[in-house]
Structures are given as C-alpha cells and as structure tokens.
Amino acid sequence: MPNQRSAKDHRKEKLRRIATVAVSIIASVTLLSVGSAVIAAEDDLDNSDMSTVTYNDFIPEERDLSDCISAIPKPGCGSSAKGGWRQMLVLGLVVTGLGFIGWRVVAGARKNLSTQSPHTDGE
C-alpha cells in the first residue's frame, strides 16, 4: 500500500518552497547590491582626480548647520533626495518580517492549544 501524504505534509512542503524562494530572492538582491557597491568603490579608487566634494544634497547651503542637525530638524533643512524606493523597500521588508513573526507566534500558540488535553472539573 503506497504512503499517502497528509494535508499537513502538503502545507509543510508549500511553506518550505515559499521560504526557499524568499531566501533566494533576498540573497540575490543582497549579492547584486554588494557587487554594485564593490564596482562603485573600484571606480572611485581608479579616479586620479581626488578633489573634495563640497556640496551635499542633505545639508542646505542657506541655513546654519547647527539648525539642521538634530533629532527633529527645523523646516527647510531637508532635501527632496531623502526617501525614495529604497526606503519603501526597507519598510516593506520590516513590515513583512514582523508579519511573519506574528503569524508564527499565533500558529505556535494555536498548535500548543490544540495538543493540550482538556481539563475536567471532576479530577
């Protein structure tokens, strides 16, 4: 008689495949970003002109620097270059990670409740 796989085995297999795909995607994005950073660093080292950069997008030239360096900078100290798709990607990854952790906590609690034997008042 052939062994039939249960629904629980199918769920485990599906979760394992999803986890494998997610880890593969995260690893490839990480490797691509590290590779591009190494290439950019090598390009900077090959540059014979070592001039100092005096302009910074994030520090306004018309304001005092001490006004803009704080936990809550004053209006007019920012830049439109802040944020973007990379910041939204990090936010999405953080929210996804927290959701996964919450899901695992709830799933573990439900599994623990279902395996406990019910208590009776007569004993």
Cα gap 98→20, rounded to integer Å = 18
- Whether residue 14 is contained in a domain is answered as no
Domains: count for the chain: 1
At 77 the pLDDT is 74
Identify whether 78 is part of a domain: no
Instruction: Supply the pLDDT for residue 36.
Output: 65
What mean pLDDT is reported for the chain? Answer: 78
Q: Report the pLDDT averaged over residues 69-79.
A: 73
Q: State residue 114's pLDDT score.
A: 79
Range of the domain at 106: 83-115
Half-sphere exposure of 107 (CA within 13 A, CB side): 8
Query: pLDDT tens digits, residue range 35-54?
Result: 666 565 555 555 556 667 67
- Judge whether 88 lies within some domain: yes
Q: What pLDDT band is residue 68 in, cutting at 50, 70 and 90?
A: confident
Distance between CA atoms of residues 100 and 94, nearest Å: 10
Mean pLDDT of 63-92: 78
pLDDT of residue 74: 74
Work out the average pLDDT over 109-119.
Answer: 78
Is the alpha carbon torsion for 13, 16, 22, 23 positive or negative?
negative
* SS3 state at 61: coil
